[in-house]
């Protein structure tokens, strides 16, 4: 099967699996990451075939929805690609990107060893910033039953993966615990430029949120 058909089949597969997902990790999140990854990948001059497949499959079985199992995502991605007779080198590269994609806590390093991985990771993190990032944060908070804001609860900068996944803080604290950290963790210059503007938008939103919370606006 040629590359174009592999990408098209993968797009249809992921859309079928994630359509209607309610936490902000749905098909349209994947679609945005896919399109953004292509744009950044072109700027960075990387292997777009690997980038497209990894972007499409990056959330096919997210660990946080599978009891913290960090192998189910790469395993599912690899099994799908092997079913399409994709070259094993490409399968392994995509699976490795899927395995290392996610943010795992403020104190946990998540380096990407390949440029393709850096591109996809940046595209995913960009979708956690700006207006869409704000909407997704509150969608996920609602999905998890989190309160919007608790003025008596401070953000926690998690030192381990276990702490990050087990902590149940407010959605507003999630901005300090993750989202506001992403701007400085982008891998590529292309992503840094986009992230800076979206970061500033989030800061303005948070200022307005606190003002309204306290009844001053």
Tell me the CATH number at 153: 1.10.3210.50
Quote the CA–CA distance of 109 and 25 in Å, as a whole number.
22
Q: Which two tokens stand for residue 169?
A: 């803080």
Which of 113, 81, 115 lies closest to 99, judged by CA?
113
Listed residue (71, 76, 81) closest to 60, CA to CA: 76
Say how far apart CA 115 and CA 72 lie, in whole Å.
Answer: 23
pLDDT in tens, the chain (217 residues): 799 999 999 999 999 999 988 888 999 999 999 999 999 999 999 999 999 999 999 999 775 655 656 788 899 999 999 999 999 999 999 999 999 988 776 667 788 999 999 999 999 999 999 999 999 999 999 988 999 999 998 887 766 676 667 677 899 999 999 999 999 999 999 999 999 999 999 999 999 999 999 886 5
Domain with 82, as residue range(s), is 3-213
Residue 61 and residue 58: Cα distance in Å, rounded? 8
Number of residues written out for the chain: 217
- N-to-C CA span, the chain: 58
Scored b (16 or more CB within 10 A) or e, 143-181 reads: eeebeeeeeeeebeebeebebbbeeebbbbbbbbbbbbb
Structural domains of the chain, count:
1
3-state helix, strand, coil in the chain (%, to 5): 65, 0, 35
Helix (H) or strand (E) segment spanning residue 197: helix 189-213
Q: pTM score, two decimals? A: 0.92
């Amino acid at each position: 099967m040629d590359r174009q058909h592999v990408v098209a089949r993968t797009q249809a597969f992921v859309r079928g699996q994630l359509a209607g997902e309610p936490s902000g990790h749905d098909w349209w999140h994947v679609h945005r990451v896919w399109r953004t990854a292509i744009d950044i990948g072109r700027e960075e001059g990387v292997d777009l075939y690997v980038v497209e497949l990894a972007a499409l499959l990056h959330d096919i079985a997210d660990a946080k929805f599978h009891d913290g199992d960090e192998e189910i995502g790469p395993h599912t991605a690899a099994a799908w690609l092997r079913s399409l007779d994709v070259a094993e080198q490409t399968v392994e590269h995509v699976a490795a990107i899927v395995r290392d994609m996610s943010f795992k806590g403020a104190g946990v390093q998540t380096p990407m060893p390949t440029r393709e991985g850096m591109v996809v990771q940046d595209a995913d993190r960009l979708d956690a910033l700006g207006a869409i990032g704000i909407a997704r944060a509150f969608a996920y908070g609602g999905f998890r039953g989190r309160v919007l804001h608790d003025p008596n609860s401070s953000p926690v900068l998690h030192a381990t993966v276990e702490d990050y996944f087990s902590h149940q803080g407010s959605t507003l604290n999630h901005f300090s615990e993750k989202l506001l950290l992403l701007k400085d963790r982008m891998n590529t210059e292309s992503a840094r430029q986009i992230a800076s503007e979206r970061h500033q938008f989030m800061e303005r939103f948070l200022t307005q949120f606190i003002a309204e919370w306290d009844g001053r606006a």
